[in-house]
A = this chain, B = another copy of it.
Amino acid sequence: MLSTARVTIRDVAKAAGVSVSTISKVMNNRDGISEETQRRVRAVIEELGYVSSESARSLRAARTGVIGVLIPDFEPYASEVLKGIARALNGSPFELMAWSGGAGRDATRGWERQLVARLAGSVLDAAILVAPSVTSLPFDSFPMVAVDPHEGPGYLPNVRADDREGARLAVEHLADLGHVRIGFLGGRKDLASARERERGYRDAMRAHNLDVDEDLVVRGDYSRAGATEPARTLLTCADRPTAIFAANDLSALRVIEMADELGVDIPGEVSLVGFDDIPESLRSEPGLTTIAQPMIDIGSEAALLLLQLMAQEEPPERDIKLPTRLVVRESTRVLRP
């Protein structure tokens, strides 16, 4: 049982007294093999515990039956989207693989371009790209769907939240609480979502006749670490804002940590709103008021869209935008003068 060498299709062929091609045909349920031979071959396969090598199969075969999700990192947002994708693919004939290549060496040309090139057509039959940052991809016949992509509609078929409206909800909530000096901590500038949320922020500020102090507009990269300096800037600047809208929850959670370090009370001195409603936001102290986006549904919709693309069907909608909603917890409070 504890064999060190892999048992190959050749071993099976030899043991069964037939050719390699026959084994392959049996494995893939091709016809042209007699019942009798099939039985014998299957018995040998079972006995030797033969399983075909994925890389060899991928290399040769046209289809692999696996759908890949390419993500920058296994962070909370991607994890939730993944759950949704898995749910939608459950019962389909496809296997699901998630590959995180963000930290890879060659970030210059876009991690997703590299990953797609490496995996497309051989390892993968199709892919869902989460937060891709490149404009074009060198593959036309390869089915792909983007979630929270770089470009807006028109680029790849994509699924996203209504980022602008969500941002508007966030600012409106703060304005309703009486806040005037509202700072903004932005996200990865290469993503449409970050730009849209900033637009929503500016729209809503204007709609409420509030001035945008450009000193209070800073940007991170959606990651926890990337939010450190922007958060410090906002919390320590001369005329500190009384409220902050962070473009995603991970950044907002970093603001909470920084505030704690700096002795700034949230929501006593500063109110804070995030975006996403990742599970972690529920556990923070104080609980984070945030704009919830339906991450699981986004994943499911993306998977469904991809399935349609793979079936050569023209999907009814190639730019799917899902609604957000405000979730009020403890990180926001009425401004007291």
> A6 vs B74: C-alpha distance in the bound complex, in angstroms?
29
Contact of A95 among B2, B76, B101 (CB under 8 A): B101
Q: Which of A111-119, A152-160, A169-177 forms contacts with chain B?
A: A111-119
Asked if A75 meets B79 with Cβ closer than 8 Å, knowing A59-B53, A117-B49, A118-B54, the reply is no
Asked if A121 meets B279 with Cβ closer than 8 Å, knowing A59-B55, A79-B82, A83-B74, the reply is no
> A202 vs B57: C-alpha distance in the bound complex, in angstroms?
49
Whether A17 sits at the interface, judged by CB under 8 Å, is no
Count this chain's copies in the assembly.
Answer: 2
Residue-wise interface mask of A (46-60) relative to B, using a CB-CB cutoff of 8 A (1 in contact, 0 not): 000101111110110
Whether A98 sits at the interface, judged by CB under 8 Å, is yes
- Rounded to whole Å, the gap between the CB of A282 and the closest CB of chain B is 5
Residues 99-133 of A at the B interface (beta carbon under 8 Å): 99-101, 103-104, 109, 113-114, 117-119, 121-123
Whether A140 sits at the interface, judged by CB under 8 Å, is yes
Chain A residues within 8 Å of chain B by Cβ, number: 52
Once the chains bind, are A51 and B118 in contact (CB under 8 Å)? yes
What are 14 A-B residue pairs whose CB atoms fall within 8 Å in the complex?
A2-B139, A49-B109, A49-B113, A51-B113, A51-B117, A54-B118, A56-B59, A56-B122, A74-B85, A75-B86, A86-B100, A95-B99, A95-B104, A97-B100
Residues of A in contact with B (beta carbons under 8 Å apart): 1-4, 6, 49, 51-56, 58-59, 73-76, 79, 82-83, 85-86, 90-91, 95-101, 103-104, 109, 113-114, 117-119, 121-123, 136, 138-141, 279-280, 282-283
